[in-house]
Amino acid sequence: MRVPRKPTISPSKMTTYLACPTKYMWTYIDSRGKWYLRSKSYYSFGTSLHSVLQRFHDSGDKGVTTTAEAVAALEESWVQAGYESQEQMMQALGEGKEIVEKYVEESLAAPVTAKTLFVEKMFRRDLGSFVLIGRVDRIDEREGGDIDIVDYKSGRSGVNEDDLRNDLAMSAYQLILQEHFPGRKIWATIIALRADSRASVSFSTEELEQFKQDMMALAIEILDRDWENHVPVAKSLCSKCDFLPLCNKHPEFHLDSE
């Protein structure tokens, strides 16, 4: 007899649910939602940059080792979807080239203090009634053996330690990696590419345990929710939401009730 697979929860799922439970339903439960999703230029921009940095840090990929190769790789992997005009897209491409050029130039000039272990890798941690999963941009091993989870952000104008402490995904990654690297200190680092700034934090065991309890309560709330009888409730983000036409079809949904 086949054992049923445990449900999975990811930082993206939890973040979507916290923003709007109905959005979670259209994204992950009710398949009608996918017909309403529109491409977003900021996702395309982020995906394009990520793909170049992934290749730059991947020791098995020798195609992106210089600034010129990084710029060529960006042109090659550029995602065009979601831009309002050709002009807007070309402006974003120009900005993207400047970002990868600067990033690669500075990385090549900096002293080597860490070894990259993984790029773009999915990790999982079984937490009993569900499995916590997360795709990590990069994992480095610092000199001395500490583990560093590195996440690139392409839209932020800066980053500080508080941002990291309040970032659900970075906390979840630390929790997942704690099991994969027992006894090692785990750091979480965000690199704000546009601002060329970075910040790192490492949660204490107590902080991570508290996060685990809070996160498990949230995950169980999501998984146990009665989605069959869910009634959409208007939010401040409705006017810009792709799913508004779907929510509008529900007789109990009123946009002006928010």
36 or 130: CB nearest ligand SF4: 36
Q: How far is the CB of 247 from ligand SF4 (least distance, A)?
A: 3
Q: How far is the CB of 34 from ligand SF4 (least distance, A)?
A: 13
Question: From residue 194, how far is each of 104, 174, 183 by CA, in Å?
Answer: 13, 24, 34
- As a three-state string, the secondary structure of 47-88 is HHHHHHHHHHHCCCCCCCCCHHHHHHHHHHHCCCCCCCCHHH
102 or 230: CB nearest ligand SF4: 230
Strands 197-201 and 8-9, how do they pair? unpaired
Q: How far is the CB of 85 from ligand SF4 (least distance, A)?
A: 26
The CA-based dihedral angle spanning residues 56, 59, 63, 65, taken in that order and rounded to the nearest 10 degrees = 50
100 or 247: CB nearest ligand SF4: 247
Give every CB contact of residue 246 below 8 A, 6+ residues apart in sequence: 26, 32, 33, 36
206 or 228: CB nearest ligand SF4: 228
Q: How far is the CB of 241 from ligand SF4 (least distance, A)?
A: 3
33 or 134: CB nearest ligand SF4: 33
* Reduced DSSP (H G I as helix, E B as strand, rest coil) percent helix, strand, coil of the chain, to 5: 50, 20, 35
In this structure, are residues 237 and 20 in contact, taking their beta carbons and an 8 Å threshold?
A: yes
16 or 178: CB nearest ligand SF4: 16
Q: Which two tokens stand for residue 151?
A: 């996440």
In this structure, are residues 136 and 123 in contact, taking their beta carbons and an 8 Å threshold?
A: yes
Q: How far is the CB of 16 from ligand SF4 (least distance, A)?
A: 9
**Footprint of ligand SF4 on this chain (CB under 6 A)?**
20, 22-23, 26, 232, 234-235, 237-238, 241, 243-244, 247
Q: How far is the CB of 118 from ligand SF4 (least distance, A)?
A: 34
Q: How far is the CB of 227 from ligand SF4 (least distance, A)?
A: 13
In this structure, are residues 140 and 113 in contact, taking their beta carbons and an 8 Å threshold?
A: no
User: Which residues face 186 on adjacent strands?
Assistant: 147
